[in-house]
């Protein structure tokens, strides 16, 4: 095999392993089960575990919200208003309802403590998830870091 063929072969198949790969190929339920095993072993710091739990739980919640035709239909017309105050009010109401559904899904998956944190102290939830993400990926940079700073998620 010549040098050029090696380059083609090395880029033809994705790198297997690591969190991005697992997030892409494993269903949320499997990622959640694997994270619980790691949590029970005490192998990672609490914020890293919170990050690993939050990702599949938020994926499940997002899937549920996307399929919730009743929720979509109730808000669809309300989002088509010209008045920005009415739009903001509808969006705030939708977000409260979506958050309640998300927290209910967390509880249904056996994560009542995470549901409570998500509903009652979102800034702390977001900061802890970000600290957990940084355990695996390091600190954010550029526009992403600026966004997180603007939201008070990082210093």
**For each successive 10 residues of the chain (155 residues), what is the average pLDDT?**
44 60 83 94 96 95 92 83 84 94 97 98 98 95 96 95
Contact 61, 105 (CB under 8 A): yes
Instruction: Tell me the domain boundaries of the chain.
Output: 3-150
Q: How far apart are CA 119 and CA 104, in angstroms?
A: 10
Contact partners, residue 129, CB within 8 Å, separation at least 6: 47, 50, 51, 54
Residue 22: the pLDDT is 75
With beta carbons less than 8 A apart as the criterion, state whether 101 and 61 touch.
yes
Residue 32: name the closest of 99, 153, 114 by CA.
114
Question: How confident is the model at residue 4, as a pLDDT?
Answer: 47
């Amino acid at each position: 095999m010549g040098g050029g063929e090696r380059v083609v072969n090395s880029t033809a198949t994705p790198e297997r392993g690591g969190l991005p790969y697992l997030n892409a190929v494993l269903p949320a339920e499997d990622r959640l089960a694997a994270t619980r095993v790691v949590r029970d072993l005490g192998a990672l710091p609490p914020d890293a575990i919170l990050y690993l739990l939050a990702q599949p739980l938020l994926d499940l919640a997002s899937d549920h919200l996307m399929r919730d035709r009743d929720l979509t239909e109730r808000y669809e017309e309300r989002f088509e208003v010209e008045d920005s105050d009415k739009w903001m009010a509808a969006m705030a109401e939708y977000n409260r309802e979506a958050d309640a559904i998300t927290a209910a899904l967390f509880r249904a998956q056996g994560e009542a403590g995470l549901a409570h944190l998500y509903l009652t102290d979102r800034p702390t939830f977001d900061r802890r998830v970000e600290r957990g993400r940084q355990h695996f990926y390091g600190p954010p940079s550029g526009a992403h870091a600026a966004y997180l700073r603007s939201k008070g998620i990082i210093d």
